[in-house]
Structure 1
Amino acid sequence: MPTYGNIFLKQDENGAFTTARRAPLGFTDGRNEAWLRDLLAGHPDLLPIEEVDPSFAPLVPLCTELQTEAGPVDAAFISPTGRLTLVECKLWRNPEARRKVIAQILDYARAVSRWSYADLQRQVASATGLKGNVPFEAARELQPDLDEAAFVDATARALREGRFLLLIAGDGIREGLSGMAELVTRNAALGFSFGLVEVALYEFGEQGLVVQPRVVAKTETIERTFVHVQSGDSGSLRDISDEGETERGGESVAVANERAWWEPLARISFDDPEQESPLYRHRNHIRVPLPYPGIWITAFRSMGEGGCGVFLTGKKSEIPQVLDALNEEREQILGELPHGTNERQQHDPDRPGFASYARLSEFATDDDCRNWLAQQLNHFVNAFRPRLKAMIR
């Protein structure tokens, strides 16, 4: 992690320097999250966009408090090529706040990814009080020769494909940066570009304020491949991932019901304050990302087999070596996991794994089943997360 020295101001002809005083956000009257939001919205050049992902530059301010189904986005920007940047401003006080803001901005992005261009236009107009094609007019101020039809089509495509840049801006992000960078890396698989920007403030007394933004963590852009499936007179867009095809069009009732069943588990909190929430992955299961690349905890429910459970798994290229290392501490790990945890390894049945199972008939209600899964997930996170972090080091 880079370190930053003090800022100096040359004050007089004799060569004397004045050292700036660090002015943390939240400790000075009026300089809070709302102040930072308005500062960045009014001066988008402060955000080091070229360093995070230049394909989203230049930033054109759209609005503050952009309303979504998941809540209001602090500040929204767009580029003349139709790519959205969503910025959440946060003061960092504890690990729980850091974990929650990651989940929060991801929820915003998921909500916006379901919008059409008309939805974006309507919500920006509502936030600004302006009429007409506000996103296009804002972008055209920066690029006068911008073609409206091309801009609308490009923006609609970016919305549909989830091509967003998510930025979290705040003060003191370097405190606990390893945990924050881990959260960013784990969520790269969602397909969004992601960055953490520390905004440092320095005061020179009556002579003014220096604002120094720094990129402290970022992900690489994860490209997603889409194909258009035509059936008769209708067509649908499908997102092809490493787990097969997932339809991005309208959901069936069964799929919607399954998503609703897992939704409470996607919001659970863990004993570990830096562990992010589970991710719903379709096909009756969720994943809990872990700090070792390509390794995660899966919770599943199979109505056909009448069972549910939690197990440690990962990519075929990573899970064998991880299990070999963990099995050296097998007895100690099993002592930390719930009673009844047994062996399972989906890629190599001969290699002992870690899993906990139950029959659906054991639970009187869906809530009982979800509560059991949540408890198992928490135990698995407590047992494996610190060990995998140590393996990374």
Structure 2
Amino acid sequence: MPTYGNILLKQDENGAFTTARRAPLGFTDGRNEAWLRDLLAGHPDLLPIEEVDPSFAPLAPLCTELSTEAGPVDAVFISPSGRLTLVECKLWRNPEARRKVIAQILDYARAVSGWSYADLQRRVATATGRKGNVPFEAARELQPDLDESAFVDATARALREGRFLLLIAGDGIREGITGMADLITRNAALGFSFGLVEVALYQFGEQGLVVQPRVVARTETIERTFVHLQAGEGGALQEVAEEAEARGEVRGESSTMADERAWWEPLTRIRFDDPEQEAPTYRPRNHVRVPMPYPGIWLTAYRSMGDGVCGVFFTGAKSEARQVLERLNEEREQILAELPEGSDNRRSSGELGFASYAQLSDFTSDDECREWLAQQLNQFVNALRPRLKTLAR
């Protein structure tokens, strides 16, 4: 996480400096969430998009208070490539408020992903009071030779695929970043990118105000994960692409998918020994995911009807998982002693991993299978979560 020193202003040719005074949002001069919203909408270059996800740059201001089925979005921008950036401005207070703002912006993304281009155009017209193709006109100010039909098609495709950049902008964003990133990762059913932007303000007495945006967290696109475990001697974790989710093609649910979700639903309500551990989240089609206190790392519990096996394993984004596994394997024997008996496995690359699995035929009922998975998850959390918290620090 980046840290910053004081900002100095050179006063004269003799080398005298004035130190800026930090000016928190929400306390002085009416600088509240609405003030921050209008500041960003009027000066889109303040948002460090290139650092978060350059595919959404440059930003053309579209509107503020865009009405959606989930509520109004503070500020909305669009790029000449037809990609939307949704910004929610929040003062940073307690962990509950942080979790609520993440849930809020995710709800906005889900709502907007159901729109057509005509829906977007109509909503923006209502928000701005302007007529015509407002999104295209806004983007064309940045790219005068922009083709309207190509822009409309690209925007419609981005809406359909959920290709949004979700930004939370606020003041003093420091604590709880890891848990927030995990929460975002667990909910990434659409193709969005996400960033946390701290907008630091510094006051130089009567001489003016300095605004310094900082990216303190962002997601990386995760296109591959380990989702299958072979049964039998020397089984291995298979690395496969979650292509349907990566393309945003998971929309409505078939009856089979609804049955699958219902099967996993009891596991999303389990309580862990660790009071800080969040509950599992269902992931189509055959597993639940448990966030760990390290960015891009989680536990997976799965059931493969085709192979007749179920299990729990440690995984994450490819680069992060490899780095973390290297550290964890330094105390591998001690970790294995704390995991369920038989929890020892290799990934398809041959690298050591942590996994536990069983044959579905070993269980007499679905409830018994779910109870076994819950017990495995709890032991994995107890063994790995404290170590991952230490690594994250």
When the two structures are superposed, what TM-score results if normalisation uses the length of structure 1?
A: 0.71
One-letter code aligned to 2:298: W
Q: Following TM superposition, by how much is the alpha carbon of 1:320 offset from its aligned partner in structure 2, in angstroms?
A: 8.2
1:314 has 2:315 as partner: yes
Q: Is the CA contact 1:327–1:352 (under 8 Å) kept in the aligned structure 2?
A: no
User: Which residue in 1 is equivalent to 2:290?
Assistant: 288
CA–CA distance in structure 1, aligned partners of residues 139 and 54 of structure 2: 16
Q: Is the CA contact 2:194–2:218 (under 8 Å) kept in the aligned structure 1?
A: yes
User: Which residue in 2 is equivalent to 1:213?
Assistant: 213
CA–CA distance in structure 1, aligned partners of residues 65 and 116 of structure 2: 19
User: Which residue in 2 is equivalent to 1:228?
Assistant: none
User: Which residue in 1 is equivalent to 2:80?
Assistant: 80
Q: Following TM superposition, by how much is the alpha carbon of 1:361 offset from its aligned partner in structure 2, in angstroms?
A: 6.7
CA distances 1:164-198 after superposition (whole Å, capped 9, x unpaired): 22222111123455555666677789643222211
Consecutive unaligned residues of structure 2, counting only runs of 5 or more, are 225-239
User: Which residue in 1 is equivalent to 2:241?
Assistant: 242
Spell out the pairing of 1:87-106 with structure 2 (5 A cutoff).
Answer: 87-106=87-106
CA–CA distance in structure 1, aligned partners of residues 45 and 271 of structure 2: 36
Spell out the pairing of 1:174-253 with structure 2 (5 A cutoff).
Answer: 174-177=174-177, 191-221=191-221, 242-243=241-242, 245=244, 247-248=249-250, 250-253=252-255
Q: Following TM superposition, by how much is the alpha carbon of 1:73 offset from its aligned partner in structure 2, in angstroms?
A: 2.6
- Which shifted more, 114-123 or 166-175? 114-123
CA–CA distance in structure 1, aligned partners of residues 392 and 302 of structure 2: 27
SS at match of 2:4: coil
> Cα distance 1:245–1:59, how it changes in 2: closer, same or farther (>3 A)?
closer
> Cα distance 1:215–1:61, how it changes in 2: closer, same or farther (>3 A)?
same
CA–CA distance in structure 2, aligned partners of residues 173 and 378 of structure 1: 31
> Cα distance 1:137–1:248, how it changes in 2: closer, same or farther (>3 A)?
same
CA–CA distance in structure 2, aligned partners of residues 140 and 297 of structure 1: 45
Consecutive unaligned residues of structure 1, counting only runs of 5 or more, are 225-240, 335-340, 364-368
Q: Is the CA contact 1:98–1:274 (under 8 Å) kept in the aligned structure 2?
A: no
Q: Following TM superposition, by how much is the alpha carbon of 1:344 offset from its aligned partner in structure 2, in angstroms?
A: 5.7
- Which shifted more, 315-324 or 383-392? 315-324
CA–CA distance in structure 2, aligned partners of residues 268 and 132 of structure 1: 51
User: Which residue in 2 is equivalent to 1:328?
Assistant: 334
> Cα distance 1:310–1:13, how it changes in 2: closer, same or farther (>3 A)?
same
One-letter code aligned to 2:58: P
One-letter code aligned to 2:147: D
CA–CA distance in structure 1, aligned partners of residues 274 and 70 of structure 2: 24
Q: Following TM superposition, by how much is the alpha carbon of 1:200 offset from its aligned partner in structure 2, in angstroms?
A: 0.4
User: Which residue in 2 is equivalent to 1:132?
Assistant: 132
Q: Following TM superposition, by how much is the alpha carbon of 1:21 offset from its aligned partner in structure 2, in angstroms?
A: 1.0
User: Which residue in 2 is equivalent to 1:51?
Assistant: 51
CA–CA distance in structure 1, aligned partners of residues 271 and 263 of structure 2: 17
Number of equivalenced pairs: 362
User: Which residue in 2 is equivalent to 1:24?
Assistant: 24
Question: Percent sequence identity over matched residues?
Answer: 75
User: Which residue in 1 is equivalent to 2:299?
Assistant: 297
Q: Is the CA contact 2:182–2:295 (under 8 Å) kept in the aligned structure 1?
A: no
SS at match of 1:130: coil
> Cα distance 1:67–1:347, how it changes in 2: closer, same or farther (>3 A)?
farther
Q: Following TM superposition, by how much is the alpha carbon of 1:327 offset from its aligned partner in structure 2, in angstroms?
A: 5.1
SS at match of 2:26: coil
CA–CA distance in structure 2, aligned partners of residues 268 and 71 of structure 1: 31
User: Which residue in 1 is equivalent to 2:231?
Assistant: none
CA–CA distance in structure 1, aligned partners of residues 391 and 208 of structure 2: 47
CA–CA distance in structure 2, aligned partners of residues 53 and 362 of structure 1: 43
SS at match of 1:149: helix
